[in-house]
């Protein structure tokens, strides 16, 4: 295998064979293909794209660069959900225990924040003591005991993705559909799932800014995962508005707990049920959408989802008292209210600006080496359609670094659009699906 010939072939728009892709990825994982050649190939892929067969070969090569879990001993159908990243997207925290309560095992391997989008792991680490670094054996034991577990990518899972992602992050090659597809699926399919549901975010606060881009990514993800033998569906959901009323680490965990206690905002409930229904249908635990919805709603109303969330926190050494005392999530945090500059109706909230405010408050990383503030974020966001009087709170900033408040206030002020009349119609949340 001559790496530069493979790079040149892709640069000139050629179609790579399975063995060319496999040998290149294997050599990169071992370190015999240096970072500069992998970066050059990533850039060639960025410009020339890949066919579905090439993307599937890349996904498989990256998946098989590491180990694959064996979920057979769980003796239950397995499913997971993956979101391409949004602002205020705490759905995994609510969905995993609810789906587990319906008899499906959910072995969820999640990521950290990327850019302004938050990561499930950073959020969970706001729970004092919660460990996201379990071994694969301990992870499967938690899934077996309570039905779900959420941890981070282990060193053994898809190491080629870990190495390649670090290069893509600094070479301008993140927003490439074949590279995103191989990156997401190499990790998710290593979980040995019966079914996978993808939430492809679309809008200002997402990587995919237009419906056409989101549809293209959704289609590619579904085609590749299906070709590799996992029943997969994708939902395209709007990410112009933040999801729910809180964005950031502790604020989103607090919102997820409240949601599991029955106080979910309409968008959080809608998205959770939409994704959960797909998981129950794809695993064939339910036969009709109506049956799946009833089953999820029962798990939600009865508190079984909340019980499983509590148990998962305990099994991962977290302090489950946060469920009854969410203030324990906010140790050392300071708060500042952002007030409405005028009376009116909230007609839009720019999720990108809310994400930027959270970054300034310390909820995400400006450099990969930064430590996140587990308490940081924005809480009590007024929802679109709400009327406010002048001086009424629009949102509450939370951070251990109060010196960040003045800059964050500017972003929140910019994010809210206030008008004399309410919006004509509610913004659409579910934009489409791909099965
Ligand atoms: N999430 C991933 O895991 N990889 C990508 O490339 C983009 C989002």
- For 56-69, the DSSP string reads HHHHHHHHTTS---
pLDDT at residue 112, as a whole number: 84
- Give the pLDDT band (50/70/90) at residue 428: very high
Instruction: Tell me how far the alpha carbon of residue 51 lies from the centroid of ligand 1, in angstroms.
Output: 19
Residue nearest to atom 2 of ligand 1 (CA): 184
Domain with CATH 3.90.1170.30 in the chain: 331-419
Task: Measure the CA–CA gap between 313 and 95, rounded to whole angstroms.
Answer: 15
Q: Which residue has the higher pLDDT, 369 or 256?
A: 256
Give, using CA atoms, the residue closest to atom 8 of ligand 1.
Answer: 84
Q: Whole-number mean pLDDT of the chain?
A: 96
Q: Tokens for 264, please give them.
A: 């979910």
Q: Whose C-alpha lies nearest to ligand 1, atom 7?
A: 180
Question: Which helix (H) or strand (E) covers residue 164, if one does?
Answer: helix 159-171
- pLDDT, position 228: 97
Q: Do residues 379 and 245 make contact, with C-beta atoms less than 8 angstroms apart?
A: yes
Residue 36's pLDDT band, with cuts at 50, 70 and 90, is very high
Supply the pLDDT for residue 367.
73
pLDDT of residue 204 exceeding 90: no
Does the domain at 3-49 match CATH 3.30.470.10? Answer given as no
**Whether residue 115 has pLDDT greater than 80:** no
Check whether 117 has a pLDDT greater than 80: no
Candidates 10, 82, 304, 356; catalytic one: 82
Tokens 């469920």 belong to 323
- Spatial strand order of the sheet with 79-83 comes to 79-83, 195-202, 231-238, 430-434
Q: What dihedral do alpha carbons 279, 282, 288, 291 form, nearest 10°? A: -30
229: DSSP letter: T
pLDDT for 366 equals 75
Question: pLDDT value at position 370?
Answer: 81
Q: Which atom of ligand 1 is nearest to the CA of 111?
A: 3
Q: Ligand 1 centroid to 181 CA: how many Å? A: 7
187 classed as catalytic: yes
CA distance 116 to 167: 19
The answer on pLDDT for 240 being more than 80 is yes
Asked if 161 is an active-site residue, the reply is yes
Residue 333: its pLDDT value, please? Answer: 98
81 in catalytic set: no
Q: What are the start and end residues of each CATH 1.20.970.10 domain in the chain? A: 3-49
Annotation: CATH topology of 72-152+186-323: Pyrimidine Nucleoside Phosphorylase; Chain A, domain 2 (3.40.1030)
Is 201 a known active-site residue? Answer: no
- For CATH 3.40.1030.10, the residue range(s) in the chain are 72-152+186-323
What average pLDDT does this structure show over 160-189? 93
Tell me the pLDDT tens digit for each residue of 43-77.
999 999 999 999 999 999 999 999 999 999 999 99
Pocket of ligand 1 (CB under 6 A): 84-85, 111, 174, 179-180, 183-184
What CATH topology corresponds to 331-419?
Answer: Aldehyde Oxidoreductase; domain 3 (3.90.1170)
| Catalytic residue list contains 403 | no
**28, 32, 36, 39 alpha-carbon torsion, rounded to 10°:** -10
Confidence of residue 130 (pLDDT cuts 50, 70, 90): very high
Within 13 Å, how many C-alpha atoms sit on residue 241's CB side? 22
pTM: 0.95
Q: Which of 168, 188, 310, 356 is catalytic?
A: 168
């Amino acid at each position: 295998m001559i790496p530069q010939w493979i790079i040149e072939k892709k640069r000139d728009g050629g179609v790579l064979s399975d063995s060319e892709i496999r040998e290149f990825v294997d050599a990169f994982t071992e370190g015999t293909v240096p970072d500069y050649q992998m970066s050059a190939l990533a850039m060639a892929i960025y410009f020339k794209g890949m066919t579905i067969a090439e993307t599937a070969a890349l996904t498989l090569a990256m998946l098989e660069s590491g180990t694959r879990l064996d979920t057979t001993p769980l003796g239950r159908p397995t499913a997971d959900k993956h979101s391409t990243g949004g602002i205020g997207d705490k759905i995994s925290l609510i969905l995993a225990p609810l789906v587990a309560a319906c008899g499906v095992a959910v072995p969820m391997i999640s990521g950290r924040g990327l850019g302004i989008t938050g990561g499930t792991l950073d959020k969970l680490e706001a729970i004092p003591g919660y460990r996201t670094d379990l071994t694969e054996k301990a992870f499967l034991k938690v899934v077996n005991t309570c039905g779900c577990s959420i941890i981070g990518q282990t060193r053994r899972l898809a190491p080629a993705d870990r190495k390649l992602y670090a290069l893509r992050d600094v070479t301008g090659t993140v927003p490439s559909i074949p590279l995103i597809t191989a990156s997401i699926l190499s990790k998710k399919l290593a979980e040995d799932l019966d079914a996978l549901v993808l939430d492809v975010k679309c809008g200002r606060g997402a990587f995919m800014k237009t419906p056409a881009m989101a549809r293209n990514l959704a289609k590619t993800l579904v085609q590749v995962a299906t070709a590799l033998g996992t029943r997969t569906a994708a939902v395209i959901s709007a990410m112009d508005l933040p999801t729910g009323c809180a964005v950031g680490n502790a604020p989103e965990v607090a919102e997820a707990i409240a949601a599991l206690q029955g106080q979910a905002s309409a968008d959080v409930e809608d998205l959770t049920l939409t994704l959960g229904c797909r998981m129950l249908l794809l695993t064939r635990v339910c036969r009709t959408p109506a049956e799946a919805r009833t089953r999820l709603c029962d798990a939600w109303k009865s508190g079984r989802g909340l019980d499983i969330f509590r148990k998962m926190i305990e099994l991962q050494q977290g302090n489950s008292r946060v469920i009854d005392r969410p203030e324990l999530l906010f140790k050392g945090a300071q708060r500042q209210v952002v007030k409405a500059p005028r009376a009116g109706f909230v007609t839009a909230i720019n999720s990108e600006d809310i994400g930027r405010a959270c970054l300034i408050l310390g909820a995400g990383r400006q450099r990969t080496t930064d430590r996140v503030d587990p308490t940081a974020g924005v809480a009590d966001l007024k929802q679109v359609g709400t009327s406010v009087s002048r001086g009424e709170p629009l949102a509450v900033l939370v951070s251990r670094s109060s010196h960040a408040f003045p800059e964050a206030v500017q972003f929140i002020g910019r994010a809210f659009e206030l008008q004399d009349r309410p919006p004509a119609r509610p913004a659409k949340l579910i934009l489409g699906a791909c099965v």
